[in-house]
Amino acid sequence: MQVTATQAKNRFGAMCAQAKTEPVFVEKDGRIDTVILSAQQYSALQVASRAETLTQRKAQFEREHSSWLAEQNQRFESQGLWCDDLRVW
């Protein structure tokens, strides 16, 4: 649904009710300025954004530090954990 800013202001309650079923695009000066979403739709967008960002960050870290990661993995395979011999007092 697309409404003008004046319509959204005058019928805010109805716009909130409509947003529960579909996004409401608010037009200002002939351009879409704002989108009203339900809390459920907003949460879904946040979850998707976080998951994508985390996946991208993990891939970037692995690209940038692949040689260091390989070195640490090799050290672990040959020597085990550095704290294997630690004793509790």
Domain ranges of the chain: 2-37, 41-78
C-alpha closest to that of 34 among 2, 56, 10, 62: 2
Cα 89 to Cα 38, 84, 86: the distances in Å are 56, 15, 9
pTM: 0.56
Mean pLDDT of each 10-residue bin along the chain, 89 residues long = 94 94 94 95 88 83 92 86 68
Residue 87's pLDDT is what?
Answer: 67
CA-to-CA dists, residue 55 to 6, 60, 62, angstroms: 41, 9, 11
